[in-house]
Structure 1
Amino acid sequence: MSLFAADNGENDLFMSRTDPENPLGTHIPFSFELEGKVWPTLEHYFQGMKFTDENRQEKVRAADTPAKAGKLGRKRHKSLRRDWKQVRETVMTRGVYVRCRANPELAAALLDTGEQKIVENSNYDYFWGCGHDRRGENRYGQVLMNVRAKLREEQEERG
């Protein structure tokens, strides 16, 4: 079974970042170390980085599941970073890259997508996903494709 679904026979890969079985998603349980801590999933890291308060960050990091980490990250709190909208894409990119470097099987899964356009198939998210009318920004798909290009470049440099 494929983790991706083709849309109208096109070559694009439509995926869900919240699918815990998808190696390109944020919920798959592959840990990595970043910011001096081990994060159980990319979702934990991303949600934790929304906060400047160490205690709040730690609550998110220690959440039992990625869904709980997401819920904690969506709670608006006074310690939410003021610059979050400006840095969220950089945070996600760093998380995806470091996780791929720490888990070669995830890097391989990303590289195996070849040159295909990767689309975060979210009906509700017009920033990270494509939205229900496919007019969203698909920033998560862009992050994955940018990291894929960087990994490929590093692979070529190593020969």
Structure 2
Amino acid sequence: MENDSIFFYSVSNAYGQFSNFALYPIKIKGKIWQTSEHYFHAQKFSGTEYENNIRKASSPMKAAEMGRTRKVKMRKNWDNMKDNIMYEAVKAKFTQHEDLKELLLSTQDAILVEHTENDDYWGDGLDGKGKNKLGKILMKIREEFQE
């Protein structure tokens, strides 16, 4: 598998486990988060009651919707820290679930791409022009595991 690309997005498709919507709970800061999506969006409101409300959201989609609100004040400098928060969430997920770590390692040196028109920051924007930040984080974590 030499530099092939692996595209992922929907949790029901191949490599759907790479999605932040995949139902793999993570433990960070002494709390259990149902998904990495829950944790990521909640951190926009760290230290507030709203953070906990997102943690308890009934689904990753609900957590994402709650996290996208502009009715609640977000923490300062979110744009400067969001990549590190995503890395922290994804690293926890792949460290705390051995089956996921093995799946990630099984991709060897493939390029991992979140393939979606819904996101040109975390994903590829469907046309390949997106930043694919989630794919890059996954590849960085895979590299750390390989070392």
* TM-score (normalised: structure 1): 0.84
Aligned-residue offset at 1:104: 0.6
**How far apart, in 2, do the equivalents of 1:46 and 1:20 lie?**
21
**How far apart, in 2, do the equivalents of 1:20 and 1:82 lie?**
35
| Corresponding residue of 1:150 | 144
Aligned-residue offset at 1:124: 2.9
Structure 2: runs of 5 or more not aligned: none
**Structure 2 residue 52 is matched with structure 1 residue 58:** yes
**How far apart, in 1, do the equivalents of 2:21 and 2:130 lie?**
21
**How far apart, in 1, do the equivalents of 2:143 and 2:120 lie?**
24
**How far apart, in 1, do the equivalents of 2:11 and 2:70 lie?**
24
Structure 1: runs of 5 or more not aligned: 1-9, 154-159
Cα gap change, 1:152 to 1:82, in 2 (>3 Å): same
**How far apart, in 2, do the equivalents of 1:20 and 1:95 lie?**
21
- Aligned residue identity for 1:12: S
After superposition, where does 1:61-72 map in structure 2 within 5 Å? 61-72=55-66
Runs (4+) of structure 1 exceeding 3 A deviation are none
* TM-score (normalised: structure 2): 0.90
The SS at the match of 1:114 is: coil
Using the aligned pairs only, state the percent identity.
Answer: 29
Length, aligned pairs only: 143
Residue by residue, what CA displacement relative to the aligned partner does 1:19-71 show, whole Å, maximum 9, x if unpaired?
26621111111111102211011110111111134210000000011110010
Q: Which has the higher contact order (CA 8 A, sep 6+)?
A: 2
The Cα RMSD (Å) is 1.6
